[in-house]
Structure 1
C-alpha cells in the first residue's frame, strides 16, 4: 500500500474526527431545539434555527479543526514521503474534517426536518437555507484548520474559537447588512412573511467564495506556484459580488410571503395561517357565541380571518379581522375575540369611567364572561335579569350608543320584539258586518 494510503487510513482513525461528529451533533440539536417556536411548525423558522445554530457550532468546529491540526502535526513526516504536492496532506485533512462537520450538520437538519414534518409544518423548506448554514460551518472548519497550520501552537485552537465566537456575537439580527455575513444572525420569521431566497443564495456564495480564497491562498503559499493566482482571483471576485449583493439587500433577509389559509367552515368560516391550524377548534368555540349575539347589528360577522400585525383588527362587511400569537400562548382565543369587541368601537374611547362601566357590562355579556361590579348596581341587576333573547334585541336597538360608548341608565330598558310582518295586526276598533247597524 502506498504511503499516501497509509496517511489516509491514519487520518480517518484520528481522535479529532471521533470527537467532532457527536459533539457538534449534540450542540447543534440542543441549540436548534431551543430556537424553535413551541407549538408552531413553520418551515422558515426551522431554517432560521439551523442557520443561527452555526453561530455556536462554527466556533466549536473551528476550534476542533485547529486542535486537530496542532495535535496531528506529527504525521507530517509521513506526508513528506509521498511524491504528491506538499499541500495534499492539508487538503486531505480538510476533506475529512469538513466531512465530519457536514455529517453532524446533516444529523441536526434531519432532526429539525422530522420535527417540523410531524407537526404539519406550513410553508416550504428552503434548500438554499440548509446550504447557507452548511457552507458557513465548512468555512469555520477551513479557517480554524489553516490558522493552526500557519501557527501550529496549542494556543491557536483557543484563539481561533474566541475570534470566531466574537465575530458571531458582535452582530445582532437585523442591525445591518453585516448581520447577513456567515454565520448569519437572522430574526424570528413572523407569520405571513418568509426568507428571501436571494439572500440565502448570496450567503452560500459568500461562504463558498471565502472557503476557496483561504484554501487557494494556502496552496499558493505552500507550493509557490503562480498558477494559483488565477483561481484565487476568481474566488475573490465571487466573494466581492456576494458581499455587494448582501449590502444591497439593506440587511433585510425577510419579505412578505402570502400563504393559503387553513379554514373551518361551520358554523362560522374561520381562516388562519396554516402554521396555526391547531387553533381553529378553540377559535370556533369562542367566536360562535359572540357572532350569535351580534347577529342583526351593524357589527355582525360570519367570517373570522387572521391577518398580519400590520393590518389593524376590524369588523366590516361581515368579516372580523384578528391577530394571533405566533406561539399560541395560553388564552389566545380569548384575546382574539376581545380584539373583535374592541374593534366594534373603532378608535372611540369612553369619555368618563361611567360610560366605560356600561360598555364593560355589555362586553362581559358578549364575551360570555362574568359581569363586572359597577357603581350602578341597579342597572347591572336589571341587565342581568334579562333573557338572552331580550339582550340581543336590546343590542340591535342600542348598538350605535354601545359602539359610541354613550350608554346611560336610561338606555337599559327591555325592548319588546316587533310582531312578524305577516302576522295580523289588531284593529283599534271592532269590525262590524255590513248589514249590522252602527
Structure 2
C-alpha cells in the first residue's frame, strides 16, 4: 500500500473514532431515566441527606442496566472496524480502551446531572443530616462497573444477541434482590430501602461497595488488556484488583445486610401554644402540627391523657400519650400528614384490646361520636340519634366536663345510652380538697401568649 493510501486509511480511522462522540446523545436519556428513578425514591417534601444519597444509589439499579446495554451495543458496532485500527501502530487494546473511556464519561455525565438535581432539590428545603461523598462514589463506581461489563461482553462476543444477554443479566442482578434481605442486597447496584428518619447510612458500607465495584471493574479491564495484547504481566494487578473486590465483599457480608443504623438527632421544636418537636428534616411541619394538635390538647385537659407536648419518635416506639407527652410518628409531609398525626394520638387514647372485645355493638358508634368531636370532624350518623342530638347540642365546655367524668368508660369502649342523658352533662360538685388537687395548668387554647413568643 502506498504512503498516500496509508494516510487515507488513517484519516478514516480518525473519522470513525470521532463519530463515537455521537454516543453523547445518550446522556440526556440516561439523565432522564436516573432523575425519575431518584425522584420516586425521595420522601414527599422531606430533605434528609441520608435518604437523598440512598435514592441516588438506587438510581443505578435502573441506570446501570441501561448504560450496560448501550456499552454492549457500542462494542458490537465498533468491533467491525478493528481491521482498520490494525493499520495503525496503536496497541490492539488502545481503541477499545478509548471506546470504554468515552462510554464511561457519558454514563458518569448523566449520573453527575442526576446528582446535581438531587442536591439542589435537597438544598431548596429544610435539609437535615449531612451528605455522604462516599455515597456518590458508591453509585458512580457501580455505574462504571456496568459500563465495563457491557462493553467487554460486546467485545469478547461481538454478536447482536450479546446486547440482549447483557440486558437480561444486568436487570436480573438488579431486580432479584430485595432491600435488607441479606448482605447480597448490598452488592452494587445496592438495593437500599428508604432511609428512615432517626437513622443514617453507615459510611463503612458505602466504602466497601465502592471498593467492590472498582476492584471488579479494574480486574475485568486488566484481564481484557492481557487477553488482547497476549501479555501475562497483567496477572499481578488483576490479582490485586480481585483481592480488593474480595475485601469489599467480606466487609459487606459482616454488615448482615444493614446499610443504616440509628443516628442521634436534635429535634426541632416550636414552643407555643403547645411544644411540638419533630425531626429537623420536617421542621416545616411545625406550624401545621401545632395548629392541628392544640384543639385536641384543649379538649383533653383535665383527663388522665392531657398533654402539653407533641414529640416525634422513631418508628420502633409505638404512639402513646403518657406523662403529658404525645408520642407520634411522621414519615413525610405528604397531603394530610397533620390529620394522620391526630389519628395516631386519638388511637392512643383508647384501649384497643378492650374495644375489640367489647360485647356491646353500639359501643363503637358512641366512641365514633366522641372521636369526631375530639378531632374536629363532622359528627357521624349513629343508630342512637337521640344521644347524638344531645351530645352535639352541648356547649364545648359541657362536652369537656363530660369527657373528664367519663373518660375511663370512653377509653374502654364502655359508653352507653346512659352516658348521654341530660343528667350526665351536669357539672359535678367538688369538695375543697378535690378542688385543691385539680391541676392549675390552663388549657393550651386559652393560655395567654407570652410577650415575644415565636410564631413558628
> What TM bracket, shorter-length normalisation?
0.7 to 0.9
Residue 440 (structure 2) aligns with = none
Q: Which has the larger radius of gyration?
A: 1
State whether residues 16 and 64 of structure 1, in contact with CA within 8 Å, keep that contact through their aligned partners in structure 2. Answer: no
Q: Indicate the SS of the match to 2:193.
A: coil
Structure 2 CA distance for partners of 1:73 and 1:402, relative to 1, 3 Å: closer
Q: CA deviation at 1:5?
A: 11
Find the aligned partners of 1:375 and 1:154 in 2 and give their Cα distance: 71
Which consecutive residues of structure 1, in runs of 5 or more, have no partner in the other structure? Answer: 423-438
Find the aligned partners of 1:8 and 1:132 in 2 and give their Cα distance: 35
Residue 271 in structure 1 maps to residue 271 in structure 2: no
Structure 2 CA distance for partners of 1:33 and 1:381, relative to 1, 3 Å: closer
Find the aligned partners of 1:4 and 1:33 in 2 and give their Cα distance: 46
Residue 395 in structure 1 maps to residue 403 in structure 2: yes
State whether residues 147 and 156 of structure 1, in contact with CA within 8 Å, keep that contact through their aligned partners in structure 2. Answer: yes
State whether residues 311 and 328 of structure 2, in contact with CA within 8 Å, keep that contact through their aligned partners in structure 1. Answer: yes
Q: Indicate the SS of the match to 1:159.
A: helix
Q: Indicate the SS of the match to 1:101.
A: helix
The correspondence of residues 320-335 of structure 1 with structure 2, limited to 5 A, is 320-324=326-330, 326-335=331-340
Find the aligned partners of 2:386 and 2:40 in 1 and give their Cα distance: 54
Residue 414 in structure 1 maps to residue 422 in structure 2: no
Instruction: Summarize deviations over 1:291-315 as a string: whole Å, max 9, x none.
Output: 1111122111110012222211111
Q: CA deviation at 1:382?
A: 3.1
Residue 290 (structure 2) aligns with = 284
Instruction: Summarize deviations over 1:169-209 as a string: whole Å, max 9, x none.
Output: 22222332222211122222222223222211111111001
State whether residues 12 and 96 of structure 1, in contact with CA within 8 Å, keep that contact through their aligned partners in structure 2. Answer: no
Residue 374 in structure 1 maps to residue 382 in structure 2: yes
State whether residues 309 and 323 of structure 1, in contact with CA within 8 Å, keep that contact through their aligned partners in structure 2. Answer: yes
Find the aligned partners of 1:94 and 1:188 in 2 and give their Cα distance: 33
RMSD (Å), alpha carbons: 2.8
Instruction: Summarize deviations over 1:273-330 as a string: whole Å, max 9, x none.
Output: 2232332222222111111111122111110012222211111111001122x34343
Find the aligned partners of 2:166 and 2:205 in 1 and give their Cα distance: 27
Structure 2 CA distance for partners of 1:23 and 1:267, relative to 1, 3 Å: same
Q: CA deviation at 1:121?
A: 2.8
Residue 359 in structure 1 maps to residue 359 in structure 2: no
Instruction: Summarize deviations over 1:395-432 as a string: whole Å, max 9, x none.
Output: 2333333333333444442333668979xxxxxxxxxx
Find the aligned partners of 2:426 and 2:69 in 1 and give their Cα distance: 79
State whether residues 262 and 271 of structure 1, in contact with CA within 8 Å, keep that contact through their aligned partners in structure 2. Answer: yes
Matched length: 420
Structure 2 CA distance for partners of 1:331 and 1:31, relative to 1, 3 Å: closer
Residue 108 (structure 1) aligns with = 114
Taking structure 1 as the reference length, the TM-score comes to 0.87
Q: Indicate the SS of the match to 1:353.
A: coil
